[in-house]
Structure 1
Amino acid sequence: MLANSPVESFSFAGREIFLKRDDLLHPAFSGNKARKFAYFLDQEFAGVTKLIGHGSAQANSLYSLSALAKLKGWQCDFYVDHIASQVLTLPTGNYAAAIANGTNVIDLSNLLAANTSVQAGKSDWHCQRYIEQRVLPAETNALFIPEGGRCQYAEYGVSQLAAEIETWTMQQGMTDLKVFLPAGTGTTALFLNQYFMRKQSDIRVFTCAVVGGDTYLRQQFDLLNPNSAEHPQILNADKKYHFGKLYPEFYAMWQRICASGVQFELLYDPLGFMVLEKFLPQWGASPVMYIHQGGLLGNETMLPRYLRKFGRTR
């Protein structure tokens, strides 16, 4: 099992922040996806020869699933709603790395256009529905993992992460630790806080919504655990940001945090650190840990976009 990522000290906003380096878990299988997919790596699946997933053509989960399939000796089929022409012309980032791992990235829009049997009502098809109704019935040797790893199986690896944090705080003689991480589906944040609550630990988890807003994030929590008392606390940014859009303040924050010598990714971490900086004064002298969730391959596509829009400012 991949475990026991190091904890480093990190100076941010005049405070010492402890950085849980999950980006260092494994060269090809790291970050929050390694935690969420750990169950599938550690368990034996007799008869399984193929892994099926879905999401965007540059999703971190695409690369992570391709790496998982390679480690297990499985074929990986990953369905996307569409693949942008520039990605096909010049493959980079998670898409290119997944292709190099042997993954079949399947464009659902092309599949529907060529398949007359699903032409009627084809606008209603989306990847998960298509996989469940058209693919899985014929793929008896396939294992299907929902988008982004939002499933109960994620609790296995995230609980291991929580146990590592708990052990580390005990070794440090630390109390009242605040753990912070930005959220997509919120799966990692939810299962972390659930673990600490059920262990009656004084460690608490805080997060912010990067994909969608707070309402969306609460809905994701409810899908996995309807007990809101065990949910992590959601913190707000000062304004609404649209996922994947380029913002000068994100770029500036990314440059600030990378100046430490640790590389962060451009999609989640900038907003995460902006929210963290806003709330740090409210936490007094409590120790704070930020979880580095990997995803650095995504910078291969995000950074050129920022450079084209804002240029090099460092």
Structure 2
Amino acid sequence: MTVIESIPEIETPSPCLPFKPDWQHAEDLQIYVKRDDLIHPVVSGNKWRKLKYTLRQLPASTTRIVSFGGGYSNHLHALGFICHQLAMPFTAIVRGDYSASLTPMLHDLMAWNSELVYVDKVEYRQRDTLAYINQLQARYPGAVIIPEGGKQPSALRGVGEIMHELAVIPDYVLVPVGSGATLAGLVGQLYGHQRAIGIAVLKGENYLESEVNQLLDRTQTNWHIQHDFHHGGYAKCSRELAEFCRTFTREHGFAVEPVYSGKLFYAAKMLIERQYFEKGAKVLLLHTGGLQGARESR
């Protein structure tokens, strides 16, 4: 049985819907939202797209899956759920010690029988080094180790499928950027005049660009990253952003959160009001799903 057959309620393609916000100059554009948050109630958005080909290709000898993330990680949440569905042991290497106060996401992982390993920032920074990976392989023989956020070459194939699901041909595609894999997957499927604009959700100018370039198989100039809308850094939320997310969710009937999707739609509003896009342009906003950042600690 394949992984897709083992995970119920996966719904692709996700809908791509016209979006008509009451923002200044929005009427001058054709705006659409790709609702990848509707793919699955738990394994939503780009998390599923980045993981599905990796999981399809798991060796038969796989004894465990190991991956990395923070206390509100959408990636760990999605992967923990999938492993629970497949009866596959899962180890989450978590940045920071939440043992005294579990986040809702970590409560879920515990309920799904995941192993939680808390590490400090110094150890967490080693997560991509060969020496650290070798240590984990020795600790967990037969384990498949998936990078933070699912950032690996197979992820680009899954993300790239978004562009082939569209009935409209957008001039611009806007997407939140944390690890860079989603942006890289989209860039590889653009053609002609199309451009991708990443909205950085963390302080990472130059770093994020280098992460995307490492994933692309050739130098491409049809993309860039906006760094003005991170609101203080990863998982940081200004009062203005918090209020925007509340108002947006109330007015438009679908949820955004302040870690990823909220920063995307906030940035889109600011760019549109500044007349960043030429009149008549088709602008696609990719709702990448994952609402762990909106859940309150217990």
Pick the TM interval, shorter chain: 0.7 to 0.9
TM-score by length of 2: 0.83
Q: Provide the rounded CA distance (Å) in 2 between the counterparts of 1:251 and 1:8.
A: 25
Alpha-carbon distance in 2 for matches of 1:231, 1:191: 13
Is the Cα–Cα contact under 8 Å of residues 192 and 205 in structure 1 kept in the other structure? Answer: yes
SS of 1:47's equivalent in the other structure is coil
* Equivalent of residue 64 in structure 1, options 66, 72, 78: 78
Higher helix share goes to which structure? 1
Of 181, 187, 192, which residue of structure 2 is paired with 1:187?
Answer: 181
Does the 8 Å CA contact 2:199/2:229 hold for their aligned counterparts?
Answer: no
Paired with 1:297 and 1:189, the residues of 2 have a C-alpha distance of: 21
How has the CA–CA distance of structure 1 residues 228 and 249 changed in structure 2, closer, same or farther, with 3 Å as cutoff? farther
- Stretches of 4+ aligned residues off by more than 4 angstroms: 122-127
Q: Do the aligned partners of residues 203 and 193 (structure 1) sit closer, same or farther apart at CA in structure 2, a change above 3 Å counting?
A: same
Cα distance between partner residues in 2 of 1:51 and 1:78? 9
Aligned to 2:106: 95
Alignment match, 1:79? 93
The answer on whether the counterparts of 2:45 and 2:289 sit within 8 Å (CA) in structure 1 is yes
* Alpha-carbon distance in 1 for matches of 2:122, 2:66: 22
Which residue of structure 1 aligns with residue 35 of structure 2?
Answer: 21
Identical-pair percentage: 24
| Distance of aligned partners of 1:230 and 1:102 in 2 relative to their CA distance in 1, 3 Å threshold | farther
Between Structure 1 and Structure 2, whose CA radius of gyration is higher?
1
Q: Match for residue 266 of structure 2?
A: 274
Residue matched to 1:163: 164
* Equivalent residues of 1:254, 1:264 under 8 A apart: yes
Gaps of 5+ in 1: 110-121, 170-174, 305-314
Give how far 1:202 is off. 4.2
CA RMSD of aligned residues (A): 2.6
Structure of greater relative contact order (alpha carbons < 8 Å, 6+ residues apart): 2
Taking the aligned partners of 2:79 and 2:255, their CA distance within structure 1 comes to: 22
Q: 1:287 to 1:149 in 2, by over 3 A?
A: same
Could you list the per-position Cα deviations for residues 212-240 of structure 1 after superposition, in whole angstroms to 9, with x for gaps in the alignment?
A: 23212112112212634256222242786
Residue correspondence of structure 1 range 32-47 to structure 2 within 5 A: 32-47=46-61
* Equivalent residue letter for 2:74: N
The change in CA–CA distance for 1:105 and 1:257 in structure 2 (over 3 A counts) is same
Query: Quick one: distance in 2 between partners of 1:124 and 1:5?
Result: 38
- Distance across 1 between alignment mates of 2:153 and 2:39: 22
SS at match of 1:57: coil
**8 Å CA contact 1:49, 1:73 repeated in 2:** no
Length, aligned pairs only: 278
| Contact 2:69-2:76 at 8 Å conserved across structures | yes
Deviation at 1:124, TM superposition (A): 6.1
Instruction: Supply the distance in 1 between the matched residues of 2:229 and 2:65 (Cα, whole angstroms).
Output: 40
Task: Determine if contact 1:181/1:208 at 8 Å carries over to the other structure.
Answer: yes
User: Structure 1 residues 213 and 231, CA, compared in 2 at 3 Å: closer, same or farther?
Assistant: farther
How far residue 185 of structure 1 moved from its aligned partner, in angstroms, is 1.3
Question: Corresponding residue for 2:239?
Answer: 248
SS at match of 1:58: coil
Q: Which residue of 2 aligns with 1:312?
A: none
In structure 2, the residue matched to 1:108 is: 119
Q: Aligned ranges for residues 281-300 of structure 1 at < 5 Å?
A: 281-283=275-277, 284-300=279-295
Give 2:66's aligned residue.
52
- Deviations 1:190-226, CA, capped at 9 Å, x for gaps: 1101111xxx354321112112232121121122126
In structure 2, stretches of 5+ residues that fail to align are 5-9
For residue 270 of structure 1, report the CA deviation from its aligned partner.
2.7
- 8 Å contact kept, 2:229–2:263: no
